[in-house]
Amino acid sequence: MERVELAFEFLKSLEAEFVFKKVPTLEPINCYLDYFERPELSYKNRVIVTGTAGKGTTCRAIEKVLLDNDVSTLTLYSPHIQSVLERVRISGNLIDKEFFSEILLSIKDAIEVVKVRISYYECLVLLGIIAGAKKGCEVLICEVGLGGDFDATNAISGSRYSVLTFIDLDHTHVLGDRVEKIAEKKLGIVTKDTIKFFTYEQRLKDFFIKKSVIEPTFFEFEDNFNEQLGMKVAEEILGVKVVNIPEIRLPCRFEKVFSNVILDGAHSVARFRNVAEKIKNISGRKVAVIGMLESHDMKDLKIVLDLFDEVIWTKLDKFIRPYYDPKFLQEFFGIGQVNYDCVDAVSKFEGKDNITVFVLGSFYLAGVVREKYISTEYIEKSGCEFLD
């Protein structure tokens, strides 16, 4: 237990990239991949998935189809909802805490030798790659954390499948305020090592053809876009046709955790549009508990606000990144009440007839509320994010 505690103290000591990286670079993560003798090259196949939204679903779809065909996988996710162990999945299960800690401590030792500063996110990407290599996983599946070109997952060497869901405005303070500018950042995952570049993003077809280093393969789907995109990637890896679209569920993606409580981490135009259609289909009185990081555009909330009978503004305190102050949001939009305790805000409506309460605006916020219904301790012990 002492080594687990030591490992997590080390992880906690690492800072986010935006705190100390003034210029984006892959040099630190490359230094450590070199130090550990390029563990990503032990995998038979590597898949990098980017896009504004739908990355997690696409990765999970690839993972599920491959596992159903007896192919072992290592899947990297970002961000986590409750436990950091969620970021590293070994053949469909969350990484074991002791194994996670063992690799963390080896990275801690490596820092003393390499003497290059590494961020929290870079450390977790590195850890996941090493973990899957140690377990002999055949396919490495990576969800890009932000953008593409300078995301730590893009340091992965060796042949790869590059996958892009769709492009919309999000993280504009980092990626740019035009769709084309964001697309160019995300196209950074399409490198000289790319075997195939898969996407269903038809709106930017000409742009992709012009800018991509290899010719894109475009798909047209009528529904289940991300699940089907994942299927196509898995088919390419397996060399066989996949018939059934995988059913995918992820924590805090319109997830019902109680009879009248729904959690969704929606925080961008694309996600709000998607969740708005689902909210419209639910009858009865609707209450929203909303908190949002300042790194996202609060004006995007206008897409859903009119759908609710009542709005409660909230936030997380002592979080690494600042949230909009609830009183500011209340004044800006001219509606709603303020409750700085997000769990209390939800609990007041829990189990009430003909009322559905929705938690929106932040995965981190939704994760704190989710703890009330599914404990982090259970998740870590079971290796699964769900109760069933």
Q: Which residue has the higher pLDDT, 334 or 243?
A: 334
The pLDDT value recorded for residue 321 is 82
What band does 24 get if pLDDT is binned at 50, 70 and 90? confident
DSSP-derived secondary structure for 78-92: SS-SS-GGGGEEETT
Span 27-56, mean pLDDT?
96
Q: Are 44 and 59 in contact (CB under 8 A)?
A: no
Q: Which residues pair with 88 in a beta bridge?
A: 76
Q: Are 225 and 165 in contact (CB under 8 A)?
A: yes
DSSP-derived secondary structure for 109-152: HHHHHH-----HHHHHHHHHHHHHHHTT-SEEEEE-SSSSTTSG
144, two tokens:
């890009």
One-letter amino acid of 275: V
Q: What is the pLDDT of residues 173-200, one digit of tens each?
A: 545 457 777 888 889 999 999 999 999 9
Which DSSP symbol is given to 245?
Answer: P
Task: Find out if CATH 3.90.190.20 is the number for domain 255-370.
Answer: yes
Measured CA to CA, the distance from residue 306 to residue 77 in angstroms comes to 32
User: 24: cis peptide before it, omega within 30°?
Assistant: no
The pLDDT value recorded for residue 167 is 84
Q: Are 95 and 103 in contact (CB under 8 A)?
A: no
The pLDDT value recorded for residue 137 is 98
Helices (H), 135-240: 172-175, 179-186, 205-211, 225-238
Q: Which residue has the higher pLDDT, 24 or 139?
A: 139
Q: Are strands 217-218 and 255-258 parallel, antiparallel or unpaired?
A: unpaired
Max CA separation in the chain (angstroms)? 60
The pLDDT value recorded for residue 366 is 96
Span 209-213, mean pLDDT?
87
Residue 376's contacts (CB-CB under 8 Å, 6 or more residues apart) are 82, 83
Measured CA to CA, the distance from residue 138 to residue 325 in angstroms comes to 46
For residue 89, give the nearest of 58, 128, 138, 40 by alpha carbon: 128
For residue 288, give the nearest of 340, 369, 345 by alpha carbon: 345
Whether pLDDT at 5 is above 50: yes
Q: What is the pLDDT of residues 217-230, one digit of tens each?
A: 999 998 899 999 99
Measured CA to CA, the distance from residue 369 to residue 377 in angstroms comes to 15
Whether pLDDT at 171 is above 70: no
For residue 278, give the nearest of 307, 309, 315 by alpha carbon: 307
Element (H, E) at 164: strand 160-164
Span 13-23, mean pLDDT?
75
Q: For the chain, what is the mean pLDDT?
A: 93
Residue 240's contacts (CB-CB under 8 Å, 6 or more residues apart) are 69
What band does 62 get if pLDDT is binned at 50, 70 and 90? very high
Span 271-288, mean pLDDT?
95
Which DSSP symbol is given to 322?
Answer: P
What band does 169 get if pLDDT is binned at 50, 70 and 90? low
Quick check: helix, strand or coil at residue 215? coil
Among 81-90, 110-119, 210-219, whose mean pLDDT is lowest?
Answer: 210-219
Whether pLDDT at 201 is above 70: yes
Question: Domain ranges in the chain?
Answer: 2-249, 255-370
| pTM, full prediction | 0.92
Measured CA to CA, the distance from residue 72 to residue 59 in angstroms comes to 14
The pLDDT value recorded for residue 177 is 55
Measured CA to CA, the distance from residue 21 to residue 149 in angstroms comes to 15
What band does 172 get if pLDDT is binned at 50, 70 and 90? very low
CATH superfamily for domain 2-249: Mur-like, catalytic domain (3.40.1190.10)
198, two tokens:
């898969």
